[in-house]
Amino acid sequence: MTVRVVIADDESLIRTGLRVIIGAEPGLEVVGEASDGAEALSVVRETRPDVVLMDVRMPAVDGIQATRAILAGQSPPKVLVVTTFENDDHVYEALRAGASGFLLKRARPEELVHAIRLVASGDSLLFPAAIRSLAAASGASGSARAVPGIDRLTSREGDVLRLMARGLSNGEIAAELVVGPETVKTHVGNVLAKLGARDRTQAVIAAYESGFVSPR
């Protein structure tokens, strides 16, 4: 199946570069472009893509607002944030709004293509060290927020969430806990369901913001 992509960035050169990279890949197709968040909403409604590459800093409606609005719709696409700086607090806010991960604009073409395919498949693009530092900066006041469902995690599900926060894959978690991969997959599914999280990124953010895992 072809993965349909929308590019939202206020710089035309960036959009052109991304379009050329994506267009050269089999199974990927750029179906629309937008120069700000408001236009992105309109283009997404018209084209119904699988993945949106979203710049976070745009005029008028920024990428955070656009991400929140896009994901509030029915059968929304995955949103992958594309940013210049990984320590941008806008990135963390976009992840909190539901983006499936972020990618730096200086990433290599093969990294971009891999990221698009990964989030299109329903997985998340998780950079644990970067998310940990963003969570630490965001929670500098030391106040944790209540996350519904986190108190319902079993002891083993809590172990799995902590390992997810370290960026371990299901196979690595299975090796760490000395259990089968299918058991880990079940635990991960339970964690996401109990936290109401779309993917691993959202679950890890919930773990940090609730104080269940310390970003420090």
Q: What is the pLDDT of residue 126?
A: 64
Rounded to an integer, what distance in angstroms lies between the CA atom of residue 100 and that of residue 51? 10
Backbone angles phi, psi at 103, to 5 degrees: -140, 140
Residues near 114 by Cβ (< 8 Å), separated by ≥ 6?
Answer: none
pLDDT at site 139 = 58
**Six-digit token pair at 118?**
């990964």
Identify the three-state secondary structure at position 28: strand
Evaluate the CA torsion angle 59, 60, 65, 71 in order and state its sign.
Answer: negative
In the prediction, which pLDDT does 140 show? Answer: 47
Token pair, residue 149, equals 């469902």
Identify the pLDDT of residue 128.
59
pLDDT in single tens digits along all 216 residues of the chain? 899 999 999 999 999 999 999 999 999 999 999 999 999 999 999 999 999 999 988 888 888 999 999 999 888 999 999 988 766 677 888 888 888 888 888 889 999 999 999 889 877 766 656 677 777 666 544 556 778 899 999 999 999 999 988 888 888 999 999 999 999 999 999 999 999 988 888 888 888 888 898 866
What is the spatial distance between Cα 54 and Cα 77, in angstroms, rounded to a whole number? 12
Longest dimension (CA), the chain: 51
Q: How far is 177 from 113, CA to CA, in rounded Å?
A: 32
Neighbour count for residue 20 (Cβ, 10 Å): 11
Tell me the one-letter amino acid at 19: R
pTM for this entry: 0.79
pLDDT at 87: 67
> What are the tokens at 168?
């371990």
- For residue 102, the model assigns a pLDDT of 86
Q: DSSP string spanning 85-115?
A: -TT-HHHHHHHHTT--EEEETT--HHHHHHH
